[in-house]
Structure 1
Amino acid sequence: MPDQGALSGERLLIAPITITPTKPVLPTHAKGFLWLDALYRGTRALREATYLWNTRSACLTGQTLRFWEYLDRTLGHTDFTGYSVHDLGALYVRAHAEPAPPFSALRPYAERAEQGWVHPGSERILRAWKEELGLLHVLDPGFFADRPYRLPLGELIDLLAGRGLCLDHRRLGGPVYLDGTRWGMPLRPVVGMDGHANYLLMVLRDLVPRIAEYDGVLLVHDEEIGHDYALVERILGELGARTSRLALGRVPIPGAGGSSRTGGWDGTALDELSALCLRHVGHDVYRLGMRLHFINTLRRTAGGPLKPELIRRAMARARKLLARADGGDPAGELSRHLTPFGWVDPYRLTCGLLTKTAHAPSRGLLDEVFL
């Protein structure tokens, strides 16, 4: 375990993969937000930590641009304030049921997103997310914060090419590849022949200019894109960063396909789960119970599907923990669950709450991290 005193002057950048504002907060997203919230709140109690969320990166993905183009093409200038997040999620599924439009049709949206613009449909979704996460007391990561990239795309590619970290064929009308072959990794296309830049370049545009400002960077991502983030980690290390990675598994939805683009999530979105829970428990029990379920029951890796009976069990555990809570020292408990890299492990922290031999949980700890 790292020395807490040694960490107090060190700065950690927590950099999660962003989520496209195209659908409700689904179980996999809820898991990510709850893990990140506990990790950030626990870590910042012991050392300086920054949570970097850039909505631009989520908006510049092909998923989002394609959704926006579909909304404008099929609905025109519509007032989306009356649409629910589920209405918009259904439109997202319809958009992806159609053949993908060429990037020439998406380019105007990419150019506006680069400047910080968010389509009104996605703005409505972000506001719904903020409201639902607010019920959980999940800190707003900055859904509406304006965070322009410090590094233009062309400058990043030139920098990487100069270090032998990418192959740039744009002058020949070709694509751009990240080059991890020195580490036995395959070439990774990141700019297509049509000029569309892949999400990995947006991650690097955010992180490369910040390397010198932090003592460490924690990359948080889905397990299924671990190969991409392993490459990002190598590149950042080559540029001088000290890095760690946290890969989170998806939460399967019974009867749904592997991708949210096909829908099938009815009854599992966060607003639906919260309505179900809050009929039976108070807000503090709901907030702690959801964290116990998504962090401890579901664990870090991909596991079993979402089951209402397990959520009910987590609520019962939360009620008992809150009834037993006392005035213990939160910092002492948090420091016991620091990883060697210096961030608080949410899973180990919840295990510490739930072990049968544990003392009464600190109310200060619950307030600091979970409520």
Structure 2
Amino acid sequence: MKAALALEDGTYVEGKAFGAEKTAVGEIVFCTSMTGYVEALTDPSYKGQILMMTYPLIGNYGVCREDFESDGVKVEGFVVKELCKKPSNYRSEMTVDELLKSYDVVGIEGVDTRMLTRKIRVFGSMKAAIGVGVEREKLIKIARDQPFISDIDLVDKVCVKEPKRIDVGGKFEVVLIDCGVKMSIVRQLLKRGINLTLVPFNFPAKEIIEMDPDGVFVSNGPGDPARVKETIETIRSIAGKLPMAGICLGHQLIALAFNAKTFKLKFGHHGSNQPTKDLETGRVFISSQNHNFSVDEKTLPKDFEVTQINLNDKTVEGLRHRDLPIITVQYHPEAGPGPHDTYFFFDRFVKMLREW
């Protein structure tokens, strides 16, 4: 079955459909990871986006549910150069085509992902549409007419709807504000003897404090952080009363709660090979990242210290409050997929809980 991909600038490319045969819209972004497509497809942070992989062959090791980062596929659409139809891996339970079909998500293969990636790098992320059996001009119009990602509320579509407790008999009790948390984050916290209570992004601060936890963790998630006002207000109410950590969207929300500002990156950071420098030690590590927005360093209050930066564009990758027990990182220390260089962030959080 033929399919096509259209961008808001009028770009139109044809290919072959896989997954669900439907029309889908979203902001197109590229991911530079060579592996980890299962984790990327199921990452809630990609909600509202069409994901394009820069590595040309996708699907060669199949799909294993153990690698899921959530309860299913979260991307709006999937774009690859070549899709492997017959994966070779003893862990594989299904093909990528079967995975996308089971979650009603459309994919397109046989397109020039290198050309599209170069275009996005030059002109920035764009609104896009994948269509099966849709005329050229109509598909371009569909891509153009959709709302910008900054105008869409996405967090409520990927978070828990009511509190969920996970007890591992650990020493610490932590409330995790779920804005679209990856399961790798949950696993890293549980592994360190932390009992978790996941709560929705709009859960009242008063009820969190009444739970009497040892700390609060603010998760990753999709979309524009400025739209997640409920979580920002919750953070403001809790800050200073309990140790707090944030990852990705959580990092941005904590900064916004202290009246800093965020801005949209030209094409975002999506991949598992982003160089990050720790300003205190001088150490450089490779990090896994997935975000379109960044904290504006110039707007940070003097109470915050920038602890890490991205060596590609010098954007903020880590923050620490000078007086309060608050630490954040923009990248994904849990990886999933990616290198394990930054697991130490979770150890720092545990140290903060222990010393509070």
With structure 1 as the length reference, what TM-score do the two structures score?
0.22
Higher strand share: 2
Larger relative contact order (Cα-Cα within 8 Å, sequence gap ≥ 6) = 1
Higher helix share: 1
